[in-house]
Structure 1
Amino acid sequence: MASIEITRGKPVWQDGRAVALLMAAMLTTMANATISPALPGLERAFADDPNAAMLTRLLVPAPSLSVALCAPLAGIVADRLGRRAMLLAGVALFVISGCAGLVLPDLPTIFASRFILGIAVALIMTAQTALIGDYFTGEDRNALTGLQISARNFGGLVFISLAGWAAATSPRLPFAIYGLAAVFLPVMWLVIVEPTRASPRSDAKAADSHDGSASWRFPLALLVILQAATNMIFFLMPTQIAFFLEAQGYESAIMTGTVLGMLMISGGCFALLYPRLQRVGGYAGIFALGYAAMALGFVLLPHADAVPPLFAAALLIGAGYALVSPSFVALALNLAPPQSRGLAGGILTASIFIGQFCSPLVSTPLIAAHGYRGLFEGTALLLAGMALLAGGALRSWRKAF
């Protein structure tokens, strides 16, 4: 695939293609969490189902599993058949499967629709990541990777707030919010164009020049592992914070919403600063700063018997995650040859959701063994080590980037 560069001198967010790709980024946050406020109501609505308690709790993480399984395959298809059709098909499937909960008759069929929703997310995220690499280069690419994290955070804040209002009316009504994605489709249809495919000979030359000894695959594998670990750690907040706050004596529903809202606002704001900070400190500096902020946040969490350290912890964790996340995409797109960007995007997408899916599986036994204080302090130590290792590794590879 040949890169299509943006016209220089124009901010990246003024490019129609960038706007369409940011719309796609907003959908990925909508996928899992939108129906969270409706879960108690859904459990009551389907109380006759003997598995209602289990199935309602699995509705939120269900898309993550299908994303993790399907995203690498979607990446291969994107490299061979193109990105535009995959993105449009993914958004259309997103609308249909997301809204299906409005009319499906029982929890098992709604649960199945959530797996299909995950396939849609895999198509969207994989195509979107590859198109960022195809359309933009250099600072424009870095700016857009930061903007997409802001779009996810602010979009998630809006969609979850709407879902809370809708769930107060009917537990099925939050499924209608997925229909908002249909508004994005005409914009994507008009502005997203398929990048020009290079000839087989030039593809071969690009591959030879880009990974003569498969040199890009090893750094990419390390990035994927690091991203999975980062998301596993970050997902401690949405999966465990409500139970932690309840143990601390807070009114968990109100305080959980406040803490997660601050997490998203902080992340959205700091992601806007990503291009400037990356230019000053480079990728090594960004990873060191981001992981240090997350580590400090998790150090403060055990002292959340007071409100100020709790809010400070949420702000620091949100900011740190928002700073490191864009670098995974930017580095992967810099490493992967053009004809493999779809595969790289698919693998990156899978690693995000594998980390999310594994987070409660790993953290719950640790909480049982060491309590929340042990979990949070151990996580802080791990993040500090990740900051040192990531910074050192990136410095040793600086010529590759």
Structure 2
Amino acid sequence: MPFMLAFLKDPKAVALLLAASLTILSNMVISPALPGLEASFDGTENAALLTRLLVTAPSILVAIVAPLAGITADRFGRRRQLLFGVALFAVAGCAGAVLPTLPLILASRLVLGIAVAIVMTSQAALIGDYFSGAARGRFMGLQIAAVNFGGFAFIGLAGWLAGISPRLPFLIYGMGALILPFLLWAVVEPNRTTPEQAEGHEPEDLGGDANWPLTLGMVLVLSGLSFVLFYMIPTQMPFYLGTLGYDDPSAQAQVLAMVTLAGGFSALVFGAVRARLGRGMTPALGYLLMAGGFGVLDQAHALPFISLAALMLGGGFGLTMPTFFAIALDVAPAHRRGFASGAITTSIFLGQFLSPIFSTPMIGWLGYELTFAVAAGILLAMAAIVFGAFHRRPRPEARTYRMEPRRA
């Protein structure tokens, strides 16, 4: 695709893709090591609980810290915050390989959540600063694709390393240190209009919409609810497959891999789809695909149909989430993009955290099939909402790609 080649020739774009790829490591990369870690600390009180908290702990801190990180990115600059976040990510992530006790490892995971919040908010704000219009939408799709494909590769590597030692997967976080020199060279602080300079100008003059807080609030609710529903797949699917007799880990991995790969491929074409369908129909189509996936799960129990449902869920999600980031960056004024990206980051990780809290009691009450049917109904309603709220072409822009001079 020509637009992809254009992005990959720009060091700034490559740097932002590399930074985005770090975020997929925050939770899932140590999942294959959890049984080994629990066995290593079998003498520790509440070892079973603490090892499971190693996965969810970063999400809590990301949800709490992201709004503050967005505000500081607006005030003090995106570049230095991104570089600091990546350095902290590498140190906190790798610490689990050497720390002697499980509580200390858990503490390092909390620090990792702070680092992820800093990286995600500053990286997303930089996307808003570097790109605009159609180019921004295409880049958001390319980023989601990179995150999905990176997650597929990193989880496979983590599984292999965990077979050698449960401590080795923590070293994958060292990728942050490896890319830091390139980020230092490639990322530049964009020229932004400050609130003081903006005095006397309308929000549209700064690249924002007059009613951007209302639009952002709607996006936050939709993105958070999207993650509540979508994360039913990684949190509940292995158990659901077990009730159907598919208790082989390879079958469970196959279904989850299809979700990830379908999400990556659909996000890859997101820019072209959004340019053709608009910013309302694109997420509506994504929600319809996800509703169809849950509908298949409600009706079919054979593994081929479950795999088809996984493809529909992943493909729909790949069309939905880039839209919300793009809308938030489209409507927010330039000096509020850090705040907007921080707010969306909070909604995403809060949705991840709340997903099992929402779905587990419902499954206990209704069973898996009816719960999937309820999820499909909610997604159909969300498709109607996003189509009605956002179905208009983005405001024409004079430039779709802004080049910033690189400085030492």
Partner of 2:406: none
Q: TM-score, normalised by structure 2?
A: 0.93
SS of 1:87's equivalent? Answer: helix
Partner of 1:343: 339
Offset at residue 260 of structure 1 (A): 1.1
Q: TM-score, normalised by structure 1?
A: 0.94
Equivalence map 1:29-178=2 (5 Å): 29-178=24-173
Partner of 2:279: 283
Counterpart Cα distance in 2 of 1:376 and 1:75: 35
Counterpart Cα distance in 1 of 2:384 and 2:270: 20
1:315 aligns with 2:311: yes
Counterpart Cα distance in 1 of 2:5 and 2:375: 41
Q: Is the 8 A contact 2:194 2:335 kept in 1?
A: no
**Which structure 1 residue ranges, 5 or more long, are not aligned?**
1-7
Change (3 A) 1:335 1:301: same
Counterpart Cα distance in 2 of 1:70 and 1:290: 29
Partner deviation per Cα, 1:204-225 (whole Å, 9 max, x = no partner):
2455446999611001100011
Q: Which moved more, 1:193-202 or 1:84-93?
A: 193-202
Q: Is the 8 A contact 1:291 1:384 kept in 2?
A: yes
1:376 aligns with 2:359: no
Partner deviation per Cα, 1:213-264 (whole Å, 9 max, x = no partner):
9611001100011000001111111111111111111124222211111111
Change (3 A) 1:41 1:9: closer
Change (3 A) 1:397 1:60: same
1:324 aligns with 2:320: yes
Aligned length: 394
Q: Which of 267, 277, 297 in structure 1 is aligned with 2:263?
A: 267
Counterpart Cα distance in 2 of 1:183 and 1:156: 17
Q: Which moved more, 1:337-346 or 1:243-252?
A: 243-252
Offset at residue 305 of structure 1 (A): 2.5
Q: Is the 8 A contact 2:278 2:391 kept in 1?
A: no
Change (3 A) 1:245 1:145: same
Equivalence map 1:143-222=2 (5 Å): 143-198=138-193, 201-206=196-201, 208-209=203-204, 215-222=211-218
Q: Is the 8 A contact 2:140 2:326 kept in 1?
A: yes
Q: Give the residue type in structure 1 aligned to 2:375.
A: T
Q: Is the 8 A contact 2:279 2:392 kept in 1?
A: no
1:14 aligns with 2:14: no
Offset at residue 302 of structure 1 (A): 3.0
Q: Give the residue type in structure 2 aligned to 1:47.
A: D
SS of 2:252's equivalent? Answer: helix
Offset at residue 195 of structure 1 (A): 1.0
Counterpart Cα distance in 1 of 2:214 and 2:85: 30
Partner of 2:400: none
Offset at residue 295 of structure 1 (A): 0.5
**Which structure 2 residue ranges, 5 or more long, are not aligned?**
398-408
Counterpart Cα distance in 2 of 1:171 and 1:120: 23
Counterpart Cα distance in 1 of 2:7 and 2:75: 27
Change (3 A) 1:100 1:285: same
Change (3 A) 1:296 1:172: same
Q: Is the 8 A contact 2:149 2:260 kept in 1?
A: yes
Partner deviation per Cα, 1:268-306 (whole Å, 9 max, x = no partner):
111111111111110111011100000011111134531
Offset at residue 50 of structure 1 (A): 2.2
Partner deviation per Cα, 1:39-95 (whole Å, 9 max, x = no partner):
011111111012011111111111000000000000000000000011001100100
Counterpart Cα distance in 2 of 1:35 and 1:395: 40
**Identical columns (%):** 48
SS of 2:251's equivalent? Answer: helix
